[in-house]
Chains A and B, each alone.
Chain A
Amino acid sequence: SAVISQKPSRDICQRGTSLTIQCQVDSQVTMMFWYRQQPGQSLTLIATANQGSEATYESGFVIDKFPISRPNLTFSTLTVSNMSPEDSSIYLCSVETANYGYTFGSGTRLTVV
């Protein structure tokens, strides 16, 4: 299956600032997915990133708050903008791999203070 490297693994940020999370895959993939896992909650899809086009956001998530880049078939970034304590979550990227379902990165644990 694909190997995903996600960084940073964790960060503590001041409210009002922004953090960019990187996701690198060891093979070319068409779609990359960004999820959020709030404390004690399940995973919620934020957006789907397709190379060469704008990301598609799920209900409740907007581009101004979570801008996504997808410059090539192996890399994507998610930015959490103008952060507030409510943004404290684990953010994960995911890709589909043939015969292995969907593979997830190790996550970025974000704490906003």
Chain B
Amino acid sequence: AQRVTQPEKLLSVFKGAPVELKCNYSYSGSPELFWYVQYSRQRLQLLLRHISRESIKGFTADLNKGETSFHLKKPFAQEEDSAMYYCALLTDSWGKLQFGAGTQVVVTP
């Protein structure tokens, strides 16, 4: 069965500390994964996708097929990183996304 698991509902970190948001997936095919972010009172927006291998706002995520993971990392958290983060898996060629439960990140000064 297709599944996206984000085990942490809430992640509280200090400014300047590293942050890692976990995402594990279950998918029989070749996965395409995304991280979306939702800042307070803003719409959901794409943070990064694994096929582009970009670093956005200092965040990176590497697809590890052996561990079926796509963890999101940032070496030095900033207060503006406080937001809700969703990991998502593309489940078919028509564009259906399956979302994880989300992780709320709170960065305190």
Are A and B subunits of one complex? yes
Query: How extensive is the interface on chain B, given as a class?
Result: 10 to 19
Bound together, the chains give a CA A105 to CA B42 distance in angstroms of 10
* Closest chain B CB from A26 CB (angstroms): 15
Residues of B within 8 A of A99 (CB): 52
**CB-based nearest A residue for B48:** A101
Contact B99 A43 (CB under 8 A): yes
The 8 closest A-B CB pairs, nearest first, are A104-B44, A106-B43, A101-B46, A43-B99, A42-B99, A96-B95, A42-B101, A101-B49
Contact B34 A107 (CB under 8 A): no
Contact B86 A42 (CB under 8 A): yes
Main SS class of interface, A: strand
Bound together, the chains give a CA A96 to CA B46 distance in angstroms of 11
* Closest chain B CB from A82 CB (angstroms): 26
Instruction: Known A42-B86, A43-B86; judge A102-B101 contact (CB<8 A).
Output: no
Contact B94 A31 (CB under 8 A): yes
* New contact pairs (17) apart from A43-B86, A101-B46, A104-B44, CB-CB < 8 Å: A31-B95, A33-B95, A33-B96, A42-B99, A42-B101, A42-B102, A43-B44, A43-B97, A43-B99, A45-B98, A48-B96, A94-B97, A99-B52, A101-B49, A102-B46, A105-B43, A107-B44
* Closest chain A CB from B93 CB (angstroms): 10
**CB-based nearest A residue for B4:** A42
Contact A45 B96 (CB under 8 A): yes
Interface string of A85-113 (1 = CB under 8 A from B): 00000001010100111111111000000
